[in-house]
């Protein structure tokens, strides 16, 4: 199994926090949730995070499955058939459907994703037979659908480990997202069968199939019982591209994600010889704590086997017993509770392959990425507000996705640490040098705060400079715009965003799946702006702050506005950015998922009708749609635009029109 070989034996005996860049191997500290309310709030945010990471928020339209079930073979106690359907137009999901030949329908259903076995869903070896698992479950009275990972067996439209890049990340297109959507559509298929009880659905898989199991369980309540095997760990999160979507594990880990099953029954099968070796002492007790918040500790269990990375007979029997307890009727549970199963021979693999000696349907697409980007853009265009009533509807649809994609937040005053540097007194004002940090977060923001003398202040302003234009003046010497605002009696803080590109080069381990575990430089810039706003709000009781961004920092200020209500006015240097040019996003705003959630258009839609000056737009940044937004928002005109860069005098007139 490829995802397991890279990290066997890497589990640590203790948990520590490692500063700096997170990787798949960084040990995680599991947070303590004291109340059910706090966990439910966290769970809702995590579900959003998973769906956004997979490119599934806003929710895609479900096209017809066009399912085909054929080639049925009757065996001893079960039947097996071939299946293919379209999870999206032209993109096939292939697998096998196992059905019991005894008992009375409707039967419980089980979805069986496989891991990175050499033969995929047809793997049949003592340490992990996918085929035997499905046969055993069918004989026990379940309808079982076993389906391919992308790139395995019949599903060769896309190679498994060579997919995606920065452009795809911008649109939320990833192998993980494709497989999660395949699993959701697999549930649609399974629940549509006449002999399946849609209220009794289980899901189980090992390793990479375990990742698919707990991700699907986390976002789809139709999974009633979950059994991820040899995967859930606080020490290793998964070693394949299909387990590491962009932004998936920012500030979280697989143990928290697996806990989203609560209070539905969940069993963790772990092993002494892989990264789940600590499960009985670390991960399982923590999960029992989450289930305890629901008063349901009996609904979570752990079985620990003395084995290497596996889904062998002992592991399968643990899952069989768990499924029988929670999915079968009592008399069926008693019949199978103590039964053991032999290692069956599945027969010729050609009998199970969907396209053995057959050709793919003519509708199949060569590559779905372009189609997914087009469908996302079409959805944004369709929902873009055209009437006043359409604006709140657009905000409800794209707002949660936008905020989850940026993955930043306005910190509380208690989360901010301030270190003051030199204090310089001048005629009429005093300046402080200071640095701001957030508890538990890397990065330090350097700032200069200018306070006019006197008790009354006539406004609070935050000036943001990008890393390409740092303020190199000595303490006490302010940029001309800041000096003019202070002269008019305003509090002014100017910040220089740190140059994230100057960090030491990433190691191969750090660069692998970097955006799964770490924020991009642009997201960090947006977070720095929010941290500065939070400091100003708490330190100077500023209920209204004016935000001014120069060069590309103007774009970062626009991205930050939807996260704060304190921004009364914003002056953003667009720096001739073209929102219709994909290359510009790749070069200047490479935030994963940003385009999928509507990019700058959504940022502005969420912030209207606050006062806004957009300048240095050039000819490529059309402001027609921005003006239309402000028109729909109603109220007095609050928008000004300039193709050229605004002078300091023009900015001051916009911000202080009555002085």
Q: Where are the domains of the chain?
A: 38-347, 414-655
Beta strands in 158-251 (DSSP E): 196-206, 225-229
Distance CA(58)–CA(48), nearest Å, equals: 10
Are 477 and 644 contacting, i.e. CB atoms less than 8 angstroms apart? no
CA 295 to chain centre: 29
109-161 tens-digit pLDDT: 999 999 999 999 999 999 999 999 999 999 999 999 999 999 999 998 888 87
CB 546 within 8 A of CB 460: yes
Is residue 418 over pLDDT 60?
yes
Q: Which helix (H) or strand (E) holds 301?
A: strand 300-305
Give the mean pLDDT of 324-336.
Answer: 76
Q: Give residue 99's region: left, alpha or beta (phi > 0; psi -120 to 50).
A: beta
Q: Give the pTM.
A: 0.91
pLDDT the model gives residue 17 = 30
Distances (CA, A) of 403 to 286, 438, 496, 514, 602: 28, 19, 24, 20, 10
Both structure tokens of 492: 């002014």
Q: What is the pLDDT of residues 574-621, one digit of tens each?
A: 999 999 999 999 999 999 999 999 999 999 999 998 899 999 999 889
Higher-scoring residue by pLDDT: 277, 488: 277
Output the six-digit token pair for 568.
């009364």
- The number of residues making up the chain comes to 659
Share of the chain above pLDDT 70, in %: 90
Asked whether 561 and 569 are in contact (CB, 8 A), the reply is: no
CA-to-CA distance for 82 and 84, rounded, in angstroms? Answer: 7
pLDDT score for 10: 37
For the cut 50, the answer to whether the pLDDT of residue 65 exceeds it is: yes
The secondary element (H helix, E strand) that includes residue 182 is: helix 175-192
Cβ neighbours of 499 (radius 10 Å)? 12
Looking at every residue in the chain, the average pLDDT score rounds to 89
pLDDT of residue 475: 62
Q: How far is CA 451 from the centre of its chain?
A: 41
- 587-599: buried (b, 16+ CB within 10 Å) or exposed (e) per residue? eebbbbbbbbbbb
pLDDT digits (tens, 9 = 90+) for 346-399: 667 778 999 987 777 766 665 677 778 888 888 899 999 999 999 999 999 999
User: Which has more pLDDT, 161 or 34?
Assistant: 34
Rounded-to-integer distance, Cα 151 and Cα 135, Å: 24
Report the C-alpha gap between 388 and 220 in whole angstroms. Answer: 33
CATH code, 414-655: 3.40.50.1820
Q: Say if residue 185 is exposed, middle or buried (CB neighbours under 10 Å; 0-12, 13-18, 19+).
A: buried
Structure tokens at 516: 């799964």
- pLDDT digits 0-9 by tens, 629-644: 999 988 767 899 999 9
Band (pLDDT 50/70/90 cuts) for residue 330 is low
Q: What whole-number distance in Å separates Cα of residue 53 and Cα of residue 51?
A: 5
Q: With helix as H, strand as E and coil as C, how does 311-355 read?
A: CCHHHHHHHHHHHHHHHCCHHHHHHHCCCCCCCCCCCCHHHCCCC
What are residue 603's phi and psi, to 5 degrees? -55, -45
What distance in Å separates the CA atoms of residue 369 and residue 163, rounded to the nearest whole number? 9
Of 275, 276, 640, 295, which is closest to residue 267 (Cα–Cα)? 276
pLDDT for the residue numbered 506: 80
Residues 6+ apart with CB under 8 A from 463: 479, 481, 482, 492, 493, 494, 495, 548, 550
Residue with more model confidence, 487 or 170: 170
Q: Whole-angstrom Cα distance, residue 262 to residue 39? A: 10
The pLDDT, as a whole number, for residue 425 is 82
What are the structure tokens assigned to 156, written together? 């060769």
Cis peptide leading into 59, omega within 30 of 0? no
> Do the first three CATH levels of 38-347 and 414-655 match, i.e. the same topology?
yes
Containing 436, the helix (H) or strand (E) segment is strand 429-438
Contact call for residues 207 and 3 (beta carbons, < 8 A): yes
Please report which confidence band the pLDDT of residue 7 belongs to, taking 50, 70 and 90 as the band edges: very low
Structure tokens at 180: 């999660």
**CATH value of 38-347 in 3.40.710.10, 3.40.50.1820, 3.40.30.10, 1.10.3300.10:** 3.40.50.1820
pLDDT band at 9 (very low <50, low <70, confident <90, very high): very low
400 touches 57 (CB < 8 A):
yes
CA–CA distance, 636 with 567 (Å, rounded to integer)? 17
Whether residue 15 is predicted with pLDDT greater than 90 in this model: the reply is no
Residue spans of beta strands (DSSP E) within 116-259: 143-147, 196-206, 225-229
Confidence of residue 24 (pLDDT cuts 50, 70, 90): very high
Would you say residue 341 has pLDDT above 70?
no
What average pLDDT does this structure show over 269-286?
A: 98
Percent of the chain with pLDDT over 90: 70
- The Cα–Cα gap between 600 and 307 comes to 51
Residue 526 token pair: 């947006």
Phi-psi region of 483 (alpha: psi -120 to 50; beta: other; left: phi over 0): alpha
Structure tokens at 149: 């990972």
Euclidean distance between CA atoms 9 and 414, whole angstroms: 39
Strands 91-100 and 78-88: antiparallel
- Asked if residue 631 lies in contact with residue 624, where contact means CB atoms within 8 angstroms, the answer is no
DSSP letter string, 363-394: T--S-SHHHHHHHHHHHHHHHS--STTHHHHH
What contacts 242, CB < 8 A, 6 or more positions away? 149, 150, 160, 175, 176, 179, 208, 211
């Amino acid at each position: 199994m490829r995802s397991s070989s890279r990290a066997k034996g890497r589990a640590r005996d203790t948990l520590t926090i490692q500063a700096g860049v997170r990787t798949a191997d960084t040990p995680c500290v599991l947070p303590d949730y004291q109340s059910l309310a706090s966990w439910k709030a966290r769970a809702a945010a995590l579900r959003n995070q998973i769906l956004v990471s997979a490119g599934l928020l806003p929710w895609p339209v479900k096209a017809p499955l066009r399912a085909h079930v054929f080639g049925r073979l009757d065996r001893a106690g079960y039947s097996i058939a071939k299946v293919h359907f379209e999870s999206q137009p032209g993109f096939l999901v292939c697998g096998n459907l196992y059905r019991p030949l005894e008992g009375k329908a409707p039967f419980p259903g089980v979805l069986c994703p496989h891991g990175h076995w050499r033969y995929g869903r047809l793997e049949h070896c003592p340490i992990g037979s996918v085929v035997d698992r499905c046969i055993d479950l069918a004989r026990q009275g379940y309808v079982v659908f076993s389906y391919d990972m992308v790139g395995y067996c019949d599903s060769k439209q896309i190679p498994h480990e060579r997919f995606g890049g920065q452009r795809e990340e911008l649109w939320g297109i990833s192998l993980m997202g494709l497989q999660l959507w395949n699993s959701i559509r697999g549930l649609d298929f399974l629940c549509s069968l006449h002999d399946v009880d849609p209220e009794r659905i289980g899901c189980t898989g090992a390793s990479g199939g375990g990742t698919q199991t707990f991700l699907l369980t986390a976002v789809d309540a139709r999974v009633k019982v979950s059994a991820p095997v040899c995967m859930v760990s606080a020490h290793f999160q998964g070693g394949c591209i299909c387990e590491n979507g962009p932004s998936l594990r920012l500030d979280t880990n697989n143990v928290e994600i697996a806990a989203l099953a609560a209070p539905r029954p969940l069993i963790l099968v772990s092993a002494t010889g892989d990264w789940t070796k600590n499960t009985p002492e670390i991960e399982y007790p923590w999960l029992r704590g989450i289930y305890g918040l629901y008063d349901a500790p009996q609904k979570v269990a752990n079985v620990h086997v003395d084995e290497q990375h596996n889904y062998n007979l002992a592991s399968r029997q643990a899952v069989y017993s768990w499924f029988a307890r929670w999915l079968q009727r009592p008399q069926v549970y008693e019949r199978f509770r103590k039964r053991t199963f032999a290692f069956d021979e599945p027969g010729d693999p050609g009998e199970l392959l969907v396209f053995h000696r057959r050709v793919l349907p003519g509708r199949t697409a060569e590559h779905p990425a372009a189609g997914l980007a087009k469908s996302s853009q079409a959805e944004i265009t369709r929902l873009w507000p055209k009437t006043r009533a359409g604006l709140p509807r657009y905000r409800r649809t794209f707002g949660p996705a936008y905020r989850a994609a940026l993955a930043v937040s306005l910190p509380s005053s208690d989360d901010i640490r301030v270190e003051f540097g030199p204090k310089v007194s001048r005629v009429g004002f005093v300046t402080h040098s200071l640095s701001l940090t957030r508890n538990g977060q890397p990065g330090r923001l350097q700032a200069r705060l200018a306070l006019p003398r006197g008790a009354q202040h006539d406004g609070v302003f935050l000036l943001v400079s990008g890393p390409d234009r740092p303020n190199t003046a000595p303490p006490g010497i302010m940029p001309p715009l800041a000096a003019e605002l202070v002269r008019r009696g305003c509090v002014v803080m100017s910040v220089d965003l740190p140059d994230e590109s100057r960090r030491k080069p990433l190691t191969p381990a750090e660069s692998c799946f970097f955006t799964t575990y770490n924020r991009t430089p642009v997201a960090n810039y947006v977070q720095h702006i929010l941290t500065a706003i939070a400091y100003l709000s708490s330190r100077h009781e500023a209920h209204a702050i004016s935000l001014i961004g120069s060069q590309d920092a103007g774009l970062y200020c626009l991205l930050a506005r939807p996260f704060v209500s304190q921004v009364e006015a914003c002056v953003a240097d667009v720096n001739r950015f073209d929102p219709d040019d994909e290359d510009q996003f790749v070069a200047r705003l490479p935030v994963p998922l940003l385009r999928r959630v509507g990019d700058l258009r959504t940022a502005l839609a969420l912030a209207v009708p606050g006062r806004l000056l957009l300048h240095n737009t050039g000819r490529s940044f059309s402001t027609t749609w921005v003006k239309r937004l402000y028109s729909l928002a109603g109220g007095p005109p609050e928008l000004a635009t300039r193709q050229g860069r605004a002078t300091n005098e023009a900015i001051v007139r916009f911000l202080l029109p009555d002085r």
